[in-house]
Amino acid sequence: MIVSWRAVVFCFINTILGFTVACSSAGDSSANASGALSFKVALLTPGPISDQSWNGGAYQGLLRIQDSLGAQVSHIQTKTPAEFEENFRQYGAQGFALVFGHGFEFQDAAARVGPEYPRTIFVTTGGTRVSANVAAMSFAFEEPSFLAGVVAASVTSTGVVGCIGGTELPPVKAGFESFARGVRFVRPKAKVLLAYIGNWDDVAAGKEQALAQIAQGADVIYQNADAAGLGVFQAAKDSRDVFIIGSNADQNHVAPTVTLGSVVIDLPTAFMTIAREVKSGTFSPRLHVLDTKSGVMRWMINPPLASRVPARALHLVDSLEHQMRVGTFVSP
């Protein structure tokens, strides 16, 4: 049997991490025979799980599936569309029941590979495409991002706030646009700066973009840049009277002295919902829209800095959040 170098690395990584997934080349039928009766779940992320954000939250979801459902799990960090497709195929050939492609950018690969492995459910996050065994989870960034904008507008002393993203993916763009609406809901004449780093893992570039916005007067920055976003936190810590808003996970602990709050996705809960359905055989491919009403999306204030937010703004956020929970909120 010829085993590719990627398969060898795959086996090595999973052995080190203690995962029990079978190791072989994608075309080896023994992968399907080994543990055929077990529930196997895999995760592909576009960046490192050490980012304390988008990818780290997904990995925590994978671990919860392992702990709660007794699943055999595996994770691979991927970089390019070719790797998305290659690893989807590898997991399909190994008989995985469920594979998450964590990001809008995984949609094309899932659509191509899905028909080849009809017994595997492929789920992309942040996307919208659905087919016979391909589903999608869409996260309503717009709601908590609007609340973050209200807070930012209430705290800024310069009237200038910023947004820094990794790349201009539709969910990221939608979140920033809603943040800007929240800012202008409170301060119609506020200036909102926008920048994209061009990738999700260059910490130095994230810091550079943040310093550039700070030089233009931004004193509150909403970042959604995964590992690169850690550079934005660093820039805020190195500056005076500059605050950060985190994203995708509770990032209030990353830089607690400068983080006003976080736009949080409860990825473990979202992943568990899908995994339970797949394991029980009740899953049907569809678009899962997860919002504040579902409990998956929420705005989380950083308690140590709550006193920096005017009381009237906190009351307004509470009122708007209630509207979101009951489904009556309409964005201005």
pLDDT at 127: 85
Other beta carbons within 10 angstroms of residue 79's beta carbon come to: 11
In a domain, 117, yes or no: yes
Among 332, 24, 325, 69, smallest CA distance to 186 is for 332
Say if residues 321 and 170 touch (Cβ distance below 8 Å): no
Residues 57, 108: one domain? yes
What φ, ψ does residue 90 adopt, rounded to 5°? Answer: -60, -45
Looking at the structure, tell me whether residues 89 and 132 fall in a common domain: yes
204 and 220, same structural domain? yes
- Beta-carbon neighbour count of residue 201 at 10 Å? 22
AA identity, residue 300 = M
Q: Is residue 21 part of a domain?
A: no
- 257 and 274, same domain (yes or no): no
Dihedral pair phi/psi, residue 330, rounded to 5°: -125, 120
Measured CA to CA, the distance from residue 6 to residue 3 in angstroms comes to 8
Please list the ranges in the chain whose pLDDT falls under 70. Answer: 1-37
pLDDT score for 7: 40
Are 185 and 313 part of one and the same domain?
A: yes
Q: Give the CATH number of the domain where residue 273 resides.
A: 3.40.50.2300
Helix, strand, coil tally for the chain in percent (to 5): 45, 20, 35
Asked whether residue 179 is domain-assigned, the answer is yes
Look at residues 263, 283, 287, 265 and name the one whose alpha carbon lies nearest to residue 274.
283
Q: Are residues 188 and 80 in the same domain?
A: no
- 271 and 135, same structural domain? yes
pLDDT digits (tens, 9 = 90+) for 129-158: 999 999 999 999 999 999 999 999 999 999
Name the residue range of residue 199's domain: 142-264+302-326
Residue 90: CA atoms inside 13 Å, Cβ hemisphere, count?
27
If we measure between CA atoms, which residue out of 78, 103, 239, 79 comes closest to residue 231? 239
What tokens were used for 190? Answer: 């506020």
pLDDT of 86 reads 97
200 and 65 in a single domain? The answer is: no
Q: Is residue 207 part of a domain?
A: yes
Q: Domain check: are 316 and 281 in the same one?
A: no
Whether residue 29 is contained in a domain is answered as no
Q: With CA atoms as reference, report the closest residue to 329 among 176, 150, 190, 173.
A: 150
In degrees, rounded to 5, the angle at the alpha carbon of residue 176 between the alpha carbons of residues 140 and 163 is 140
Does 311 lie in the same domain as 228?
yes
55 neighbors 271 (Cβ within 8 angstroms):
no
Please check whether residues 256 and 271 belong to one and the same domain: no
187 part of a folded domain: yes
pLDDT tens per residue across span 89-130: 999 999 999 999 999 999 999 999 999 999 999 999 988 999
Residues 200 and 252 in one domain: yes
Domain-located, residue 108 = yes
Residue 184 lies in a domain: yes
| Sequence letter at residue 263 | V
Query: Whose CA is closest to 103, among 123, 73, 131?
Result: 123
Structural domain count, the chain: 2
Q: What is the pLDDT of residue 37?
A: 55
Q: Is 325 exposed, middle or buried (0-12, 13-18, 19+ CB in 10 A)?
A: middle
